[in-house]
Amino acid sequence: MPLPCCRGNGSHPECFEITVPDDDSLQSKNVKCLPYSRSLPVPNPKCSFGQRQQANMATSYLDLSQIYGNTNGFVSRMRLFKDGKLALRAVGGFNNQMGIPPANLDNSVCRSYSGKPCLLAGNNR
């Protein structure tokens, strides 16, 4: 469960509030603040104090699972199975060559403020 960072009382030291500027389109939706919190800390290998390290709880490998997912079923949705390419849909650009991932149809994990669909990605990091 995310921390309640936009309450304006600074109640949690891991919360930071990103104030939405007055001329931002989010203001028309009554969004005044974007919540931001630090990632969970993990102990460093020497059990000593120092810089906060980032935790990756999905996989222990540098394997692009954040893009392709970490299950065979999800990986198959993200791949073209042609020359190792990622499944993309055309959006224009030079010679119509630019692409973005497919739309994420699962609205339970996506909030789009722009009215555009959320994009499918490997996991919700």
- Reported as a single tens digit per residue, the pLDDT across 69-86 is 778 888 888 888 888 788
Residue 103 lies inside a defined structural domain of this protein: yes
Domain that holds residue 114: 59-124
Give the separation between CA 106 and CA 10, rounded to whole angstroms: 33
- At 21, list the tokens: 């500027």
pTM of the model: 0.41
Give the separation between CA 55 and CA 78, rounded to whole angstroms: 24
**Range from 7-21, 49-63, 85-99 that averages highest in pLDDT:** 7-21
Looking at the fold, whether 65 and 117 belong to one and the same domain comes out as yes
Residue 4 lies inside a defined structural domain of this protein: no
Going 102 to 107 to 113 to 116, the CA torsion angle's sign is positive
Residues 8-46 pLDDT 10s: 665 677 787 788 888 888 888 888 888 877 766 777 777
Residue 5 lies inside a defined structural domain of this protein: no
Minimal CA–CA distance to 87: which of 107, 67, 117? 67
Give 40 or 60, the one with higher predicted confidence. 40
Decide: residue 29, CB within 10 A, 0-12 exposed, 13-18 middle, 19+ buried.
exposed
| Per-residue confidence band for 125, with pLDDT thresholds at 50, 70 and 90 | low
Instruction: Give me the mean pLDDT over the 52-67 stretch.
Output: 66
